[in-house]
């Protein structure tokens, strides 16, 4: 469905539904955001395992259909615990991984930046947990803490956090626990699906709006991709799943090099990495909402522009802080207050980033594969005949490996494109008629067109990958035919050689007895047991001919004779003394299974 040809009536109904549900602030319910989902009246404090289990099992009436999520999340977080997260003494919770931007809009009419919480800098998982544990809304909105509640929000004099932005790089079990342990009841269900999709390398783009219960929303996207980098050796993802394997896979691409193993590899190797960008915007009205982003940056090395510390350093140097959730493309001090508008900006910025990564991957693949798919015949013609077969086998192995890799690239591209098509044919209606901060009518439509252009380029890249895959498949078939023809020629030569050998053997059978007899009758007559006569010569020649024929026949049919010998039981050869008379089958250390047929 083209955006320009969309069903205007359907889009308008979606937009009207959003406005009617979320345009009015639900101030009376804001205090509930100060209490984590797992807190219950009269309930003792829970351990980290119990919190993760509640996160995956207690948020729905029937947890069995969500077992796949429970296995993934509980396994990933199995090495974390709430005690170490709270103390912050463990080195695993002291690495800066997150940024937090909390603002309210009390004085938005006089200052469009709103009132921002003091800047905290790059946060560790421990610091992120302490910040998220603070009451999001002031005490005048909060209900008294219940006895034995297990969680009391930290007291704070900071302004309310109407709009909360959380940015986490290379999310690990500790940062997941920090977010899960502080998620409110209305956030937890959305966060569970969000965390699972990110860990499982899933693709998604859509809007969640439950038709029953308290009205809430979640705008979410997950964009997995491959990143191609040149480095001395592949960078391994330090995060681990429950089975010990890395969360994201990486490998060098030396299998795409046709040079023999004894040729030194270049100092910088081509490496491919799995990576994903995931974002969710969730809330229960257009005034109170949270945006959370998980961004994989491990493949860029320790010092990269998307690390939490790098954003802080640039903000100090340039005296301007860029929004990390948008990839540093939007000024954080010119905040976007509408959740739908902010989500569209995230989609626009991040799809453009993913498009650039995919362009790099496909361009490098074409650079490697095109010389073989385009110039194969020219290369073959320039090779000497004795090198052609060896070169063909090398190219065949290269084609087999590369075709599989191209299929993986095309499949992952297809998932992103299919997610956009699904969104464009349905959930896009929730953004119809939205005016962005510029105040220009139709601005949201232009943003969506920009995203659509990015997706169009991804379609072109997928087509190039699929075309290259087809060319390699054709090349592989052509090489197979060449090798088959070479094998046929070799077989014909071997057959011809066999015929010559057989002719030579026949000549030998004829002349060997004659020459042997002739040599025998040429010695001193006293040595022979019979007299030299023509009759004895003929008889001797006949005997030698029979012996020669017998030896030739035995050698020619040796495999048949060997099979016949193997059918003779060993007991017939070595006697029955190896076996007991009682039939137990064991004597002097021998057992039935140790006695084999010859």
Residues in the chain: 598
Nearest to 512 by CA among 556, 555, 542, 554: 542
Tens of pLDDT, residue by residue over 60-114, are: 666 677 788 889 999 999 999 999 999 999 999 999 999 999 998 776 555 667 7
User: Which H or E run includes 221?
Assistant: strand 217-231
Percent of the chain with pLDDT over 90: 39
Q: Cα torsion at 192, 193, 196, 201 (round to 10°)?
A: -160
State the chain's mean pLDDT as an integer. Answer: 80
User: Which H or E run includes 104?
Assistant: strand 98-104
Nearest to 348 by CA among 442, 425, 453: 453
- Of the two residues 278 and 31, the one the predictor is more confident about is 278
Give pTM, 2 decimals. 0.77
Q: In the structure encoding, which two tokens stand for residue 593, read together?
A: 């299974």
CA 463 – CA 520 distance, rounded (Å): 82
Q: Which residue(s) pair with 24 in the sheet?
A: none
- Identify whether the C-beta of residue 74 lies closer than 8 Å to the C-beta of residue 52: yes
Q: Which residue(s) pair with 169 in the sheet?
A: 295
CA 370 – CA 376 distance, rounded (Å): 9
- Identify whether the C-beta of residue 75 lies closer than 8 Å to the C-beta of residue 116: no
CA 131 – CA 128 distance, rounded (Å): 5
Q: In the structure encoding, which two tokens stand for residue 535, read together?
A: 């009759």
CA 480 – CA 392 distance, rounded (Å): 8
Q: Among 339-348, 359-368, 436-445, 490-499, which is the least confidently predicted range?
A: 436-445
- Of the two residues 60 and 467, the one the predictor is more confident about is 467
Cα 383 to the chain's mean position, in Å?
A: 39
What's the pLDDT at 563?
64
- Identify whether the C-beta of residue 69 lies closer than 8 Å to the C-beta of residue 53: no
Position 554 in a domain: yes
- Of the two residues 417 and 541, the one the predictor is more confident about is 417
CA 459 – CA 317 distance, rounded (Å): 39
Position 438 in a domain: no
- Identify whether the C-beta of residue 346 lies closer than 8 Å to the C-beta of residue 323: no
Position 154 in a domain: yes
Contacts of 442 (CB under 8 A, 6+ apart): none
Query: How many degrees, rounded to 5, is the angle at CA 250 between CA 245 and CA 255?
Result: 120
Tens of pLDDT, residue by residue over 429-451, are: 888 767 655 454 457 788 999 99
- Identify whether the C-beta of residue 204 lies closer than 8 Å to the C-beta of residue 222: yes
Percent of the chain with pLDDT over 70: 74
- Owning domain of residue 140: 22-337
Q: In the structure encoding, which two tokens stand for residue 292, read together?
A: 């959370």
Tens of pLDDT, residue by residue over 349-407, are: 999 999 999 999 999 999 888 877 776 544 555 555 555 666 667 777 888 888 989 99
What's the pLDDT at 59?
66
The domain boundary residue, chosen from 337, 361, 394 = 337
The domain boundary residue, chosen from 289, 311, 337 = 337
Look-up of token digits 């991984």? 97
User: Which H or E run includes 556?
Assistant: helix 534-556
Position 194 in a domain: yes
- Whole-angstrom CA distances from 229 to 248, 272, 274 are 15, 6, 11
Position 474 in a domain: no
Q: In the structure encoding, which two tokens stand for residue 224, read together?
A: 């997995």
266-294 core/surface letters (b: 16 or more CB in 10 A; e: else): eeebbbbbbbbbbbbbbbbbbbbbbbbbb
Is residue 147 helix, strand or coil?
A: coil
Structurally, how many domains does the chain consist of? Answer: 2
CA 229 – CA 263 distance, rounded (Å): 22
Question: Sign of the C-alpha dihedral, residues 251, 253, 254, 256?
Answer: positive
Nearest to 349 by CA among 217, 196, 221: 221
Position 178 in a domain: yes
What's the pLDDT at 262?
46
Contacts of 253 (CB under 8 A, 6+ apart): 269, 270, 271, 272
Tens of pLDDT, residue by residue over 23-68, are: 888 888 888 889 898 887 666 567 888 888 888 876 666 667 778 8
CA 415 – CA 425 distance, rounded (Å): 15
What's the pLDDT at 437?
52
Q: How confident is the model at residue 141 (pLDDT cuts 50, 70, 90)?
A: very low
Position 373 in a domain: no
Q: What are phi and psi of 149, to 5 degrees?
A: -70, -25
What are the DSSP E strand ranges found in 428-575?
A: none
Is residue 250 helix, strand or coil?
A: strand
DSSP state of 125: H
- Whole-angstrom CA distances from 94 to 54, 86, 100, 296, 307 are 26, 11, 16, 18, 15
Q: Which residue(s) pair with 491 in the sheet?
A: none
The domain boundary residue, chosen from 279, 304, 337 = 337
Look-up of token digits 């009536």? 9
What's the pLDDT at 430?
86
DSSP state of 204: E
* The pLDDT of residue 462 is above 80: yes
What's the pLDDT at 48?
82
- Average pLDDT rounded to a whole number, residues 178-205: 95
Contacts of 212 (CB under 8 A, 6+ apart): none
- Identify whether the C-beta of residue 125 lies closer than 8 Å to the C-beta of residue 174: yes
Position 499 in a domain: no
């Amino acid at each position: 469905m083209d955006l320009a040809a969309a069903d205007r009536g359907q889009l308008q109904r979606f937009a009207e539904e959003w406005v009617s549900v979320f345009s009015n602030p639900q101030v009376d319910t804001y205090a509930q955001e100060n209490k984590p989902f797992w807190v219950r009246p009269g309930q003792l404090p829970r351990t980290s395992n119990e919190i993760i289990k509640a996160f995956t099992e207690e948020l729905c009436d029937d947890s069995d259909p969500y077992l796949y999520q429970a296995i993934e999340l509980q396994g990933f977080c199995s090495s974390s615990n709430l005690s170490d997260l709270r103390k912050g003494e463990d080195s695993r919770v002291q690495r800066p991984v997150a940024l937090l931007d909390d603002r309210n809009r009390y004085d938005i009419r006089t200052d469009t930046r709103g009132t921002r919480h003091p800047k905290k800098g790059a946060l560790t998982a421990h610091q992120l947990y302490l910040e998220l544990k603070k009451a999001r809304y002031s005490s005048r909105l909060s209900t008294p803490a219940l006895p034995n509640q297990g969680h009391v929000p930290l007291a704070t004099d900071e302004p309310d956090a109407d709009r909360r932005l959380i940015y986490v790089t290379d999310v690990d079990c500790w940062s997941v626990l920090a977010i899960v342990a502080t998620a409110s009841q209305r956030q937890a269900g959305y966060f569970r699906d969000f965390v699972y999709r990110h860990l499982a390398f899933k693709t998604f783009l859509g809007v969640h709006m439950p038709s029953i219960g308290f009205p809430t929303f979640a705008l979410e996207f997950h964009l997995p991709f491959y990143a191609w980098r040149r480095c001395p050796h592949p960078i391994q993802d330090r995060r681990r799943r429950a089975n010990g394997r890395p969360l994201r896979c990486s490998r060098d691409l030396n299998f795409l090099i046709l040079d023999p193993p004894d040729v030194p590899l270049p100092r910088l190797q081509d490496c491919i990495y799995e990576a994903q960008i995931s974002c969710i915007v969730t809330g229960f009205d257009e005034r109170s909402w949270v945006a959370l982003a998980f961004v994989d940056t491990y493949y860029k090395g320790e010092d990269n522009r998307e690390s939490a510390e790098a954003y802080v350093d640039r903000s100090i140097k340039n005296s301007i802080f860029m929004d990390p959730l948008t990839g540093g493309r939007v000024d954080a001090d010119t905040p976007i207050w509408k959740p739908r508008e902010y989500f569209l900006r995230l989609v626009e910025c991040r799809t453009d980033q993913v498009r650039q990564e995919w362009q790099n991957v496909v361009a490098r693949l074409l650079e490697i594969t095109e010389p073989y798919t385009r110039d194969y015949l020219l290369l073959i013609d320039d090779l000497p005949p004795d090198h052609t077969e060896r070169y063909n086998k090398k190219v065949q192995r290269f084609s087999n490996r590369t075709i599989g890799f191209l299929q993986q690239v095309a499949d992952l591209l297809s998932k992103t494109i299919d997610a956009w098509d699904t969104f464009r044919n349905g959930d896009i209606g929730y953004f119809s008629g939205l005016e962005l901060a510029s105040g220009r009518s139709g601005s949201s439509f232009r943003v969506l067109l920009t995203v659509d252009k990015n997706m169009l380029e991804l379609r072109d890249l997928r087509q190039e990958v699929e075309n290259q895959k087809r060319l390699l498949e054709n090349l592989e078939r052509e090489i197979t035919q060449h090798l088959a023809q070479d094998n046929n020629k070799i077989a014909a030569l071997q057959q011809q050689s066999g015929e010559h050998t057989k002719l030579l053997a026949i000549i030998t059978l004829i002349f060997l007895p004659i020459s042997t007899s002739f040599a025998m009758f040429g010695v001193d007559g006293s040595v022979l047991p019979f007299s030299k006569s023509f009759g004895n010569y003929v008889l001797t020649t006949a005997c030698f001919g029979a012996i020669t024929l017998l030896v030739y026949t035995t050698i020619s049919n040796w495999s048949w004779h060997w099979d016949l010998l193997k059918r003779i039981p060993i007991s017939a050869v070595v006697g029955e003394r190896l076996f007991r008379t009682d039939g137990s089958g064991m004597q002097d250390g021998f057992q039935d299974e140790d006695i084999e047929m010859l």
